[in-house]
Amino acid sequence: MVEDTDHQQTNIQSNGDVNNDVGWTDDEFEVFLKQELFNDPLAKEYPELFDIAPKLICKWRQRYRGNKSLWKRLFDKDKVTKEFIEAVPFIDAIQKLVTNSELKNGKKYTIIDLACGRGYLSMILSELLPPDKVEKIVLVDKQWAMHNMTPTSQHISWTHIYGSLKSCEDQSIPSYYETWPISLNTSCTNLKKSREIKSLEKRLFSNGPVILVAVHLCGTLSLKAVELFNNNPKTKFLLLKPCWKVRVCVVL
C-alpha cells in the first residue's frame, strides 16, 4: 500500500499545476488533496473530516467530468482547501447535530447558508450529511441570478448547481441538480434590504427546523444573521463567523 501511495505522489508531482488536473486518476487527485489538507494543524482536531473531505471533493470532479471549462472555473485548490479548513468546526458541529437528532413527524432540517459565494460549504454538506434528515440546503447570496434569468458576468454562475435545469447560454450542459444527495437551491437575496429578508423568512423559516450558517459575514451582515436567528424560533442552530475571525455557536 505504501508503494502505491508513493507512485501516486510521483505522478501528481510530475503533472505540475493541481488546478490543471487533466490526466490524473481520481485516486491521485484524492491523495494530493489529502496531503495538502493534512498539513494544516486542524487536521489533528478533526481527523475524520480531513480524511473524508478529499473523497467528497472528488465527487464534484466526477460530477463535472466532461465539462472542463466549468471544472476549471469552479476548482481552485487553494480556495477550496481554505474554505474547507475555515469551515471545518462548523461542518463538525452540523454533522453531530443532524446525525444525533431524533426528528418527529417526518420533519427534516433546512440548512440556510448566508452570503455563501459559490457555495463550497453547502456542496460539502450535501455530500456529507444524511438525506433522510436534511430536506434541502439553500444558498443565499445577493449575486445569484433570479431563477427566471440567465446569469450574466455580474452574477455568480449557478451552472455547477443547476446545470441546464435553469436558463443558461450553453444548453449542452447536463442537469446537475438531481445529482446532489441533498438538493441545493439558490436564493438571490440582499441581506441589507428588509423587504428581501422578510421574503426570505416567509419562504424558508416557516416550517423548520432550520440550521442557519453564516461564514465570513462582514460588518452589519453578522447582525442580520443574529436577527434572523432571534426572530425565527424554528431556527435551532446558528453558526456565525464574522470577518474578524470570531466564531460563535448558538444552540436552542
Digitized pLDDT (tens) for each residue of the chain, 252 residues in all: 333 444 444 344 434 455 656 678 999 999 999 999 999 999 999 999 999 999 999 999 999 998 888 999 999 999 999 999 999 999 999 999 999 998 888 899 999 999 999 999 999 999 999 999 999 999 999 999 887 777 778 889 888 999 877 655 555 678 899 999 999 999 999 999 999 999 999 999 988 799 999 988 877 889 999 999 999 999 999 999 887 544 445 445
CA distances from 185 to 10, 17, 32, 233 (A): 40, 32, 30, 22
AA identity, residue 117: G
CB 213 within 8 A of CB 239: yes
Residue 214, domain extent: 2-251
Residue with cell 416550517: 207
CB 135 within 8 A of CB 110: yes
For the chain, what is the domain count?
A: 1
- The reported pTM is 0.86
